[in-house]
């Protein structure tokens, strides 16, 4: 109940321009500065190039006009941590969507590593030039690490979703991942990061669903697998997912994309529950891979578990 109350407070503050509650209090931050600096050194110590460019046409052997898919967000959406274009989440999602729709998919990725939610405005400007049928946003981790007020982060996300929806695009948002799973973070910093990222994820869900978009809780990056096998699920920097880790996340996001475009069989559409939107947001923040969508009436939302979706094979994503 406390998480639901917090999500509602953050969303309300975003709507009315307030600062909301900060992810980390000043005193707590001061005590954890040394740990944060150490974690940052560990994460950035591993050299690596930028994310591979995966833009292009996927499923070209299918008939029909291509669907336009655009990715927005931070390094997770950009695919930092993998070495080949076909391993990026954008390529995995484009390949999967093409197979489900039986149509080609033209992919454009405007996500940039290091982006916070305030960067979405410029990304939406570029995204709208592609006239997207579907936009996928993954954002939030950098807002938490930079101590951006959650209400400010949510306000920027809400504006981005509203602009995309007004232009006729369906929107799916993968909410802030659980930063408490990042191995270079030590306790108590790991606990603080987990709490802050889950609060932001719940508030993001409220804002996204109220604007008619779909929200998927990435939670701990859908991660019993991440906890059980971090060496294979995280990339060399121990912060961003590996190809296998991205495939696990895409397995939860892809069904929501199909649903947003009306491509899912009706049998898969039975919700696990109908709750007030702020309670649904809190529930999704605790259950990784849960999609939240607006219900037919009022401020209610439907919960649809997506964790059991088959994982896209990163070795078969070809442009």
What domains sit in the chain, N to C, each tagged with a CATH number?
Answer: 2-316 (3.40.50.1110)
**Residues 106-117: tens digit of each pLDDT:** 999 999 998 999
pLDDT above 50: residue 302: yes
Percent of the chain at pLDDT exceeding 70: 62
Q: Is the dihedral of CA 24, 289, 110, 15 positive or negative?
A: negative
Average pLDDT over residues 207-235: 71
Average pLDDT over residues 220-238: 56
Q: Note if 75 is an active site residue.
A: yes
Of the residues 143, 220, 240, 242, only one is catalytic, namely 240
Average pLDDT over residues 275-303: 70
d(CA 76, CA 81): 9
pLDDT at residue 304 in the model: 79
d(CA 143, CA 27): 19
Residues 263 and 272: beta-carbon distance below 8 Å: no
Mean pLDDT, the chain, integer: 76
**Residues 50-90: tens digit of each pLDDT:** 889 999 999 999 989 999 999 999 988 999 888 889 989 99
Q: For the whole prediction, is pTM greater than 0.85?
A: no
pLDDT at residue 192 in the model: 75
Q: Note if 240 is an active site residue.
A: yes
pLDDT at residue 278 in the model: 65
Q: Note if 214 is an active site residue.
A: no
Of the residues 133, 153, 237, 242, only one is catalytic, namely 237
Cis peptide before 196 (omega within 30 of 0): no
pLDDT above 80: residue 141: yes
pLDDT at residue 245 in the model: 78
Is the model more confident about 42 or about 234?
A: 234
pLDDT at residue 119 in the model: 97
d(CA 104, CA 62): 6
């Amino acid at each position: 109940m406390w998480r639901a109350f917090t999500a509602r407070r953050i969303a309300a503050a975003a709507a009315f321009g307030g600062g909301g509650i900060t992810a980390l209090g000043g005193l707590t931050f001061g005590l954890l500065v040394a740990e944060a600096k150490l974690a940052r050194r560990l994460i950035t110590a591993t050299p690596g190039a930028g994310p591979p460019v995966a833009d292009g046409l996927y499923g070209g052997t299918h008939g029909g006009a291509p669907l336009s898919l655009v990715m927005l967000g931070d390094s997770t959406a950009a695919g930092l941590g993998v070495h080949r274009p076909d391993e990026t989440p954008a390529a995995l999602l484009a390949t999967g969507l093409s197979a489900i729709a039986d149509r080609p998919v033209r992919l454009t990725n405007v996500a940039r590593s290091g982006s916070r939610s305030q960067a979405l405005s410029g990304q939406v400007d570029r995204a709208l030039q592609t006239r997207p049928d579907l936009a996928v946003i993954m954002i939030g981790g950098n807002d938490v690490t930079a101590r951006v007020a959650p209400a400010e982060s949510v306000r920027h996300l809400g504006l981005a979703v509203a602009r995309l929806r007004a232009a006729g695009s369906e929107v799916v948002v993968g909410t802030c991942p659980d930063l408490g799973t990042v191995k270079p973070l030590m306790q108590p910093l790991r606990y603080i990061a987990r709490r802050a990222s889950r609060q932001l994820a719940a508030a993001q869900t409220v804002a996204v669903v109220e604007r008619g978009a779909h929200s998927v809780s990435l939670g701990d990056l859908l991660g019993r697998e991440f906890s059980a096998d971090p060496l294979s699920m995280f990339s060399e920097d121990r912060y961003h997912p590996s190809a296998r880790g991205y495939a696990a996340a895409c397995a939860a996001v892809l069904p929501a994309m199909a649903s947003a475009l009306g491509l899912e069989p009706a049998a898969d559409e039975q919700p696990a529950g109908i709750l007030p939107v702020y309670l649904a947001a809190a529930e999704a923040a605790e259950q990784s891979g849960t999609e939240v969508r607006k219900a037919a009436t009022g401020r209610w939302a439907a919960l649809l578990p997506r964790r059991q979706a088959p994982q896209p094979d990163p070795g078969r994503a070809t442009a």
